[in-house]
Amino acid sequence: MDAETRVVDLLRRADDIVKAAPARRDDAAVVGQVGELLAQARDALADVRDDQRRRSLAGQVSRRVGDLDQAQVAAFSGPSPGVRRAPTRDVDPARIPPNQHLTAGFPVLHVGRLPDTPAHDWRLVVTGLVARRQRWSLAELQERSTVTERSDFHCVTGWSRLDNDWTGVRVRDLLDRAGAKPSATHAVVAGHPAYTANLDLEVLRRDDVLVAWAHDGQPLAREHGGPLRLVVPSRYGWKSVKWVTEIRLLDRDVPGYWEERGYHDVADPFREQRFR
């Protein structure tokens, strides 16, 4: 069985389990079985030789993973320990993207394990199509023009947290300090461990896009991306790279970790750009 056929077969098997789910009593078992099949399908994608077909299949896998995640969103509606309760009532509906549900807390979702690098050893690099490659420690960033911006956060799995106060520095100030070249149009932002997301420079230069080290007046917790994370309010949360280490400017759009796995390159929540 070639890789493409295997992916298609795994998707069919996952769909069959979902269709039979109403007749079963063990929801956790259904989620586990479907999740395992989709994980195998995602792993098999790497061996699909045709790029266009691979990315098309990746979109199909990611849509099903997204459906699985959204089925569990109800568990995210309540407050989270140690996090200020976010508003969920009397909210202007225009602030809530389609098919999003408000949470009072701050759910934790990420790829891989938490990094163990001490905050004083953390470094952020701006490189690529720049006049001057720049490298800052956390302390050096905190000595720059610090700002606090209030914004909403929308996760692709279907939950939104409103009125987050992020403290950090504007990304556009870092790009200007590095001297972004006119040929630069996009960036690949990297974070621990081997995670990336692609963004265009127009978005990165917006007022509310920060490299942040504090959330709601408290140092950013490690599980939420501390000591340093990117914050891009106009995009789904996977673009707000946790544990950010590098911003590399490019003259083209290069897919990141989730984009290569079927997620949308732009990721505007108000247009529901979840998957390709």
Write the DSSP symbol of residue 160.
E
pLDDT given at position 27: 63
Q: What is the pLDDT of residues 178-196, one digit of tens each?
A: 999 999 999 999 999 889 9
Residue scoring higher pLDDT (39 or 251):
251
Alpha carbons 192 and 73: distance in angstroms, whole number: 25
Asked whether residue 117 carries a pLDDT value surpassing 70, the answer given is yes
pLDDT given at position 150: 97
Write the DSSP symbol of residue 105.
S
Mean pLDDT is lowest, of 85-94, 105-114, 257-266, for 105-114
Average pLDDT over residues 97-109: 90
Q: What is the pLDDT of residues 46-57, one digit of tens each?
A: 888 888 888 888
Asked whether residue 23 carries a pLDDT value surpassing 70, the answer given is no
Alpha carbons 76 and 24: distance in angstroms, whole number: 24
CATH of domain 79-271: 3.90.420.10
- The continuous run of DSSP H or E covering 137 comes out as strand 134-137
Mean pLDDT is lowest, of 2-6, 46-50, 67-71, 181-185, for 67-71
Say how many C-beta atoms besides its own lie within 10 A of residue 55's C-beta.
17
Helical spans, DSSP H, in 111-245: 138-142, 171-178, 201-204
Tell me if the bond preceding 97 is cis, omega within 30° of 0. no
- Is this structure's pTM higher than 0.85? no
